Structure 1
Amino acid sequence: MKKIIFIVLGVLLLVFACSDNESPLTQSELDIKKPTLSALDTWLRENYTNPYNIEVSYHWNENRVDLNRYLHPPIKDSVKVAMEAIKTIWLETYNEVAGPNFVKRIAPREILLVGGVNRNASGTVTLGLAEGGKRITFFNTNTLNIKNRPNLIRFVSTIQHEYCHIINQTVPFDEEAIRKITPSGYTAQWYETSIPDARELGFITDYARANVIEDFAEMLTTILSYNNTDYNAIIDAIKSKKAKEAIRKKEAIVASYFKTEFDIDIYELQSVAARNIERVLN
């Protein structure tokens, strides 16, 4: 019993000794205040985060990019220019035709902007990525020139293409219906074919030859990149009658999918997108 008492007293003395040597508790020095938003951050929040629940990220985070590529943060001045163009040509187009709730319901939850060119070992360049239907990453943000038509269309085609993937992930399309139109034309070496040659094979772009999913997305992207007259001129310039028919069949499948599943007329979408492209250019 005495032994137990001595042990208890020893522990109590040790506790009090430690307490005497410790500094009194003070208020935490951790800064838990919300960071002050810059004018750019406020604009992004008001135009993307609040209305659509889309977070726009442009601050550098090496854990979110491939460190084996020569990538870097976007120039701040290019961020708002890029997001204004995307807002006008993508968001406002779908809002006008499909209604404001369409993008709110089906959308990436984050847009990540990256500076630098994302070059692949094959010599091709990756313009953008759709990751799990939740995030769309834009590369080449620093090279955007909104007064140069090919440059603008190339940049905005990224959101049109990747957004198409997100829509397809929400409601799948009939892959077999498109595959059987040009079954032998798909190849992992799509980049070895020029765009004119790909069209003579029944594909709207070279990348459309990668697989059926990219074929569908490239059809929609091309339709939304040109007004109806210019788009039809592209098809009419194809020499092969069989190739023309193949592309028109794919176009019909894309049009039917959007009308049946979402009551969206892609030709109305095309008209509004073309008008909004001109707004940005001018």
Structure 2
Amino acid sequence: MKNKFIKYIAVAAVAIGISACSDDDSIRSESVFDTEAPELTDLDQWIRQEYTNPYNIEVIYKWSEFEFAIERYLYPATLENVEPTLKVVKKIWIDSYTEVGGDDFVKISAPRQLALSGGFNSNPEGTITLGFAEGGKKIVLFNVDFIDFTDRNNIQQFLNTIQHEYTHILNQTVPFDEQTFGEITPTDYNPNWYQSTDAAANEKGFVTAYASSAITEDFAEMVATFLRYDNQGWNDFIDNINNVQARRDIRTKEAMMAEYFNSAFNIDIYELQEVVQQHTDEVVN
């Protein structure tokens, strides 16, 4: 009798299990995820037209704790500043490289994501991170809410960030000769670069104090600073450095920079400089 009772329990358990599986299957037939296509705003549609479709760049402007460091005091860009910022970035960065490097240049080498933050990214030592690149796949830009679109210097400072970070991406695509480049000013690289000034760094053969932090940063700062000036402004910048050897060192770095862009990407960086300045004029005026 006991054995039969156990069998009845076993049969009942199997029946319940089958019923439970059947119920689970019916539940799983409906996804727990929202599969509805998101409703696109006018801004979203503009971004798709100007960035996503032609260049496969996703623009992240809505806040997400997964995109920005939560230990920093950061906040999303004010909505009304997003499109003007992206127009400036496209005109001065994307359109300039496209005009000089060809229609496919940015499409091939661009980061897959561009993230915007409204505020400044302040560091404990008192410096401010204006932007950074992540593994060649993403560029993050800060202080979007503080761009003065009528001020050429302000726009150039902001674009200096993306020109710097994009250079890192190009260097990851085709490395430059770090060893030879680093031998130009080998003894003056300093991780505590923020304790110096740009003027003092200039006298040691660096275009900015941050350039002296590492060889890779030196190269990226060379490109970004070079593109910030027109040709006459660049020459004046170097001529105003008192140290003769420092002027020679920057000129040597300039020659290596120009050779790198020519051999790696068939880009004349002097032509690129001219186009960047033309596009900057169009943005400001």
TM superposition score normalised by structure 2: 0.91
1:191 corresponding residue in structure 2: 194
1:93 corresponding residue in structure 2: 96
1:124 corresponding residue in structure 2: 127
Encode CA deviations 1:86-126: one digit per residue, 9 max, x unaligned: 00000000000000111111111000001111011111100
Residue 211 of structure 1, aligned match among 210, 214, 218:
214
Cα distance, 1:61 vs structure 2? 0.6
Cα distance, 1:10 vs structure 2? 3.3
The letter for the 2-side match of 1:166 is I
Encode CA deviations 1:58-80: one digit per residue, 9 max, x unaligned: 11011222222110011011111
Unmatched runs of 5 consecutive residues or more in structure 1: none
Query: 4+ residue stretches of structure 1 with deviation over 4 A?
Result: 1-5, 11-19, 24-31
RMSD in angstroms over aligned alpha carbons? 2.3
Corresponding residue pairs, total: 280
1:114 corresponding residue in structure 2: 117
1:236 corresponding residue in structure 2: 239
TM superposition score normalised by structure 1: 0.92
Residue 152 of structure 1, aligned match among 152, 155, 158:
155
1:174 corresponding residue in structure 2: 177
Cα distance, 1:15 vs structure 2? 7.0
The letter for the 2-side match of 1:103 is V
Question: More displaced, 259-268 or 29-38?
Answer: 29-38
Instruction: From the superposition, tell whether residues 35 and 11 of structure 1 become closer, same or farther in structure 2 (CA, over 3 Å).
Output: same
2:12 corresponding residue in structure 1: 10
Residue 259 of structure 1, aligned match among 259, 262, 266:
262
Instruction: From the superposition, tell whether residues 18 and 148 of structure 1 become closer, same or farther in structure 2 (CA, over 3 Å).
Output: closer
The letter for the 1-side match of 2:113 is E
Give the match's secondary structure for 2:114. Answer: strand
The letter for the 1-side match of 2:91 is T
Cα distance, 1:207 vs structure 2? 0.7
Cα distance, 1:6 vs structure 2? 3.4
* Structure 2 CA distance for aligned equivalents of residues 38 and 150 of structure 1: 32
Give the match's secondary structure for 1:273. Answer: helix
